[in-house]
Chains A and B, each alone.
Chain A
Amino acid sequence: DTGVSQDPRHKITKRGQNVTFRCDPISEHNRLYWYRQTLGQGPEFLTYFQNEAQLEKSRLLSDRFSAERPKGSFSTLEIQRTEQGDSAMYLCASSFTTGGPEETQYFGPGTRLLVL
């Protein structure tokens, strides 16, 4: 399968614990996005990378959240000191763009986080 993959698919943790999610984008895709989706809502933008550079972070991304894409390939999203409000589906998407206006993002299956 050559789509976007995410690991783990499900994570249950206790409040205060740290968690890390991984996203492997489609090969050769230079942009990678993280979104968060809660029940009854559409996905909301968190952050994105152009190659290894993190170019934008949403206000939703508190100081407890950090994302990396060290070699411009896979990315990790870490949440420190998790809170119950962090419970959500975390989606990763990737795209290839040469900087023009046309860009299509392809989404992974998501990591569903439950904080007890």
Chain B
Amino acid sequence: AQSVSQHNHHVILSEAASLELGCNYSYGGTVNLFWYVQYPGQHLQLLLKYFSGDPLVKGIKGFEAEFIKSKFSFNLRKPSVQWSDTAEYFCAVQGTYKYIFGTGTRLKVLA
């Protein structure tokens, strides 16, 4: 069955700490990979995406993610988080059309 796992459900960091959120997927074919962010009271916004090519993709607000095909992973990273990064982060996999989302990771950054 197709699935996406986000292992960290809640993460609390201090400002300037480094961030890595895990995302692993199960899908038997070529996929597109996405990270979306949902700030409090706002809708899902695209952080970054991977279709093909360089497995290290850069997104908005200093975020980046690395696709490791052999590990079926697409982890999200940011070298130094800010208080304004407090949000919920969703990893999503797309095969033919629909997205399959992970359960999300709630990140709280302490000022």
Contact = CB atoms under 8 A, between A and B. Distances in A.
Contact of A102 (B43, B51, B104): B51
Contacts of A108: 43
Interface string A23-52: 000000001010100001111110010000
A42 B43 contact: no
B103 A42 contact: yes
B99 A105 contact: yes
Nearest to A91: B44
Prevailing SS type, chain B contact patch: strand
B101 A42 contact: yes
B75 interface: no
The size class of the interface chain A forms with chain B is: 20 to 34
A88 to B, nearest CB: 14
Given A41-B103, A42-B4, A42-B90, A104 B46 contact: yes
A104 B100 contact: no
A55 B98 CA distance: 11
B32 A101 contact: yes
A56 B32 CA distance: 19
A101 B30 contact: yes
A108 B46 CA distance: 12
A65 interface: no
A93 B34 CA distance: 14
A102 B97 contact: no
20 contacts: A33-B98, A41-B103, A42-B102, A43-B99, A43-B101, A45-B98, A45-B100, A48-B97, A48-B98, A56-B97, A56-B98, A91-B43, A93-B99, A101-B30, A101-B51, A104-B34, A107-B36, A107-B45, A108-B43, A109-B42
